[in-house]
Structure formats: C-alpha cells, structure tokens
Amino acid sequence: MAMNIVVCVKQIPDPADPGELDPNTKTLKRDVKLILDEADSYGVEMALQLVDAAGGGEVTLVSMAPDDEVGGIRTALAMGAAKAVLVSDEALVGSDALGTAKVLAKAIERAGDADLVITATESSDGYTGTVPEQVAELLGLPSITFAKSIEVDGNTIKVKRQTEAGYDDVEAPTPAVISVTAGVVEPRYPSFKGIMAAKSKPVDEVTVADLGLDADAVGWAGARQEIVEIATAETREAGTIIEDEGEGYAQIVDFLADLKVI
C-alpha cells in the first residue's frame, strides 16, 4: 500500500556559527545562510524508510521562511524527498508557535492527502516544542509525540513513544501527526546523485494569502506570545581538577560518595 508522508522541516542558522539575538525583537537573527535543522533530518529519514517499506508513495516537505530560502529544503530533497511546499512571506517574521502551526497546517493541506505527518519534537533554534501538537489540533488529527519508532499496519500507526522510564506502545488511526525524537534513526547522507536530482524537484512556493490565511493571523501581528526578556545563560563554573599523585582515586571516590551515587 503506497504511503504519502508530509514532513515539516525548518531551516535554521547553522549552529556551527553561533547565532545572535536581535535586542529589539528578542529573536534569533535569521539573515544568514540557513540549513536544514538536524532535528528534522531524523523525521525525513524515518519518512523515507516508511515509504520504502510501504513499497510506494512519496515524501513531501513543508516549510516556512520569511524569505525564499531553500538551502535546507534542498538537503532534504537530496536525501530523497520528492517535493516541497515552501511558505515564503515577509508577513511570517515574528510568528509565534501558534502562528507557525496555523501556516504549517494549511501548507500540509495544500501538500495533498497525507497518510502521516511527521515533525521533530522541537526545533533546534526555537525549542518551544509545541508546534506539532498545535498542528494536529488545527488539522483535527491524532497527535503522538516522542516517537522512537513508527510501524504502519494497514490504517493503524503503531508507535513506540519514548518516556523517561522506557517507552509506551501507542496506536492511532491514520492520518496522524507524529513527532520523532532525535537520534532514533541514522539520517542518510545526501548522495551525489541525490544532490543533482534535488535541483529539478518541485518546490511549490506560496504566500500566506495563497493559503487563505489573513496576514494578521501570523507574524508579529498575529503573535499572542511575547518575549519579555532575554538574558545570557550563566556560564558553567569550571570543574575541579584533581592532580593525580597516586592518591587521585580516593578523591574521586569521595566526590562520588558526596553525590550519593556510590
């Protein structure tokens, strides 16, 4: 049975080049080169594996960006996704989690009938971790979070949902929105041929208006969430250095005993 999966992906500033916060908007500056959020690469990989296992279907990407940035989307297309919907509109600047979810939900509908919507648990730059559930609510679909594995059995999705103690077995009917935890699959490298093929894969670039959304519902205008203050995280205190002159082990044992771990 063919399976069509939509994966929500975010393009973020490269974490290898430390980003900067804009003191006026209190948000991350995004006027740099954007790349695919690594957290999303797991969802893309999982979707590609599910489509392979189903023996047919395709993976469609959904993303939003204030400008027409496609660098990160190209990476996911090079991994094997078939096409993308990119919502690109200046009106998106300042969108909060709910505004983002509204846009993504509409874009997912535009992408066509999906058997499954996959997201990361949270983005690596915003970290609100609430968008997947909001998208599910807006689409009226079941939501399963923190999936470490997904299995499709007819019209049922079986998920091992990661918990602190281990995992829960959770089931839902398709279609559903599932967030996957990072590190549960090994994302493939884009192959040379994948990179070449990505150039000719369709990216449906649309505006907020194209989705039938009011510009006031998104961006700064629609944001119901306000960032009141930003502050630099406290630097961690330097650790204790034990010079080993033959008795170093004793100090380590004392240290662990103080922590009550031994």
Partner 1 sequence: MQFSDDHEMFRRTVREFVSNEINPHADEWEAAGTFPAHELFSKMGDLGLLGLTYDSEWGGGDADAIYTMILAEELGRSASLGVAMAIGVQTDMATPALNRFGSDELKANYLRPAIEGSMVASIAVSEPDAGSDVAGIRTRAVRDGDEWVINGSKMWITSGTQADWLCLLARTSDEGGYRGMSQMVLPTNTDGFAVSRRLDKLGMRGSDTAELTFTDLRIPVSNTIGVVGRGFQQQMAQFQDERMVAAYQMVGAVELAMERTVAYLNERMAFGAPLIANQYIQYELAEVAAMLDINRHHNWAAAEAASRGEDITRHATVAKLTSARLARQMADLAVQFHGGMGYVEENWPARFYRDTRLWSIGGGADEVMLRTLARMNGIGSD
Pairing of strands 156-162, 11-13: unpaired
Residue 191 CB, shortest distance to partner 1, in Å, is 4
255 part of the interface to partner 1, by CB under 8 A: no
For partner 1, the binding residue among 199, 224, 236, 260 (CB under 8 A) is 199
- Select 184 or 195, whichever has its Cβ closest to partner 1: 195
Output b/e per residue, 215-236; b: 16+ Cβ within 10 A.
eebbbeebbeeeeeeeeeeeee
Q: Binders of partner 1: how many residues, by CB under 8 A? A: 12
Residue 35 CB, shortest distance to partner 1, in Å, is 8
Q: Near partner 1 by CB under 8 A, which window of 54-62, 74-82, 138-146, 221-229? A: 74-82
Report whether 160 contacts 169 (CB < 8 A). Answer: yes
Report whether 92 contacts 58 (CB < 8 A). Answer: no
74 part of the interface to partner 1, by CB under 8 A: yes
196 part of the interface to partner 1, by CB under 8 A: yes
Q: Which residues contact 101 (CB under 8 A, 6 or more apart)?
A: 130, 131, 134, 135, 137, 138
Residue 192 CB, shortest distance to partner 1, in Å, is 3
- Select 75 or 181, whichever has its Cβ closest to partner 1: 75
Distance CA 262, CA 256 (A): 6
For partner 1, the binding residue among 19, 127, 156, 189 (CB under 8 A) is 189
Output b/e per residue, 154-185; b: 16+ Cβ within 10 A.
eeebebbbbeeeeeeebebebbbbbbbbbebb
- Select 24 or 200, whichever has its Cβ closest to partner 1: 200
190 part of the interface to partner 1, by CB under 8 A: yes
Give residues in contact with partner 1 (CB under 8 A).
71, 74-75, 78, 189-193, 195-196, 199
